[in-house]
Amino acid sequence: MGEIARDPRGPRSAVIVGAGVVGLSTAWFLQERGIDVTVVDRNGVASGASWGNAGWLSPGLALPLNDPGVLRFGLSALFDRTAPLHVPATPDPALWRFLLRFAARCTWRSWDRVARANLALNTACLDAYDALTAGGVPTPTVPAPITAVFESAQHAAGLLAELRRLRDAGQELTFSGLTESELREALPQASDSLGAGVRLVGQRYVDPGAFVTSLAEAVRSRGGHIRGGFDVVEVRPQRYAVALRSASAGSVSASVAVLATGAWLGGLARRCGVRVPVRAGRGYSFTVPTEQPVPGPVYLPTARVACTPYRDGLRIAGTMEFRPPDAPLDASRIEAIVSSARPLLTGVRWEDRHDEWVGPRPVTHDGNPVIGETAQPGVYVAGGHGMWGLTQGPVTGRLLAEQIATGVKPGALRDFDPLR
């Protein structure tokens, strides 16, 4: 492992690898502290999970992935290609090691530990969005409750219990159960098969691709540089600097480097001493027209599907599929989402769907992201947020920028140490 000397004046420049919401937020908050930034990406702005996700800014539903019930879904996924959680048969030993380590943490004790660790991110995540919009990012976030729908009050009991558990862990939440009549008043699209709901207030949503694109423009307008087609293959220390080399686009150097490459984080991060495994948990989405506007985000817990008002229609997003991040879209996964969601919502033109998309979300084995400095001085990582990268991306960037600029790790990042 190489060594670099730290500039006693503090970092003057930073290169961020990854032009998604985490990387660009880090760049923006570094600019707030007077640090020059360059953002590089192998493709371009919002080309990964930052584009096709559900667009929820929902600290109240940023639930730990290591729910003990996941084990039941995981076992069925080995045999059912249409299951919300899908683990295809594969001889990949690294994936099976990852899944076994994840399964060992699917206990309520571990769930509580992750919930408490994430409190600092969830409590401040909407404030970080407000800082971005107040500072010149023009795409608005939309306040709206999220309505979860169920066949009966008995089916809703599980989510209500999990929300109470999250509240007991210290997170401020306001939620209530909905009767059948209350559900139909709140959501005209609820089908006759639904008889109960849960309403969670104090949440928001956003057009994710538009927001990240406008965030990139804000970084540029403040003097930042953004380069696409820059696939980093080497991180090399220099005196008072870190150099990043691309296979085909030359090199770039700065006082510090931040690796924020989402599901591709593992390779480069390992070379910098990070041993926390990060795997691609791929999600699918598409857009459908609706006969009338949907009043706000809708959650279909039994199908593990999120629905969000999006460009005069509805974005439908769901599944967790453990396959390589660059594997092609599997059309059967889209069909599985349609089959599970169709009986629950009316007034949706499923056959006219478009913008079919698949993208990888970075998942860690212990449910916590990796945020902070690596074993390579001057090199930082930010990722591993699982399904909540959009919700937690800006606050991650704000906290990491504080650590980089001051040299002091914020207490909120204690549980996310990349060298744990």
pLDDT of residue 88: 77
Pairing of strands 85-86, 251-254: unpaired
pLDDT tens readout for residues 386-403: 999 999 999 999 999 999
- Please give the residue that has the higher pLDDT: either 379 or 7: 379
Mean of per-residue pLDDT scores for the chain: 94
The region of weakest confidence among 18-22, 45-49, 54-58 is 45-49
Is the pLDDT reported for residue 1 higher than 50?
no
Q: How confident is the model at residue 376 (pLDDT cuts 50, 70, 90)?
A: very high
Top CATH class, 13-49+210-277+367-416: alpha beta
Q: CB of 321 within 8 A of CB of 169?
A: no
Structure tokens at 416: 């996310």
Residue whose tokens read 């006219």: 352
pLDDT of residue 393: 98
E strands in 166-277 = 175-178, 196-200, 204-205, 225-227, 232-238, 241-246, 251-254, 256-259
Q: Kindly list the domain boundaries of the chain, sorted by start residue.
A: 13-49+210-277+367-416, 63-112+138-204+280-364
E strands in 275-415 = 278-289, 298-300, 305-310, 313-322, 354-364, 370-373, 379-383
Burial category of 413 from C-beta neighbours within 10 Å (exposed 0-12, middle 13-18, buried 19 and up)? buried
- For residue 17, give the H/E element and its range: strand 13-17
CATH code of the domain occupying 63-112+138-204+280-364:
3.30.9.10
* CB within 8 Å of 182: residues ≥ 6 apart: 197
The span from the CA of 416 to the CA of 61, in Å, is 20
The span from the CA of 375 to the CA of 373, in Å, is 7
Average pLDDT over residues 313-329: 94
Residue 199 one-letter amino acid: R
Q: How confident is the model at residue 311 (pLDDT cuts 50, 70, 90)?
A: very high
Q: Decide: helix, strand or coil at residue 270.
A: helix
The span from the CA of 203 to the CA of 391, in Å, is 10
pLDDT tens readout for residues 214-249: 999 999 999 999 999 999 999 998 888 999 999 989
Cβ atoms < 10 Å from Cβ of 103: 16
Using left for φ > 0, alpha for ψ between -120 and 50, and beta otherwise, residue 2 falls in: beta
pLDDT tens readout for residues 75-104: 666 667 777 787 777 788 999 999 999 999
Q: Where are the alpha helices (DSSP H) in 226-365?
A: 265-271, 331-341
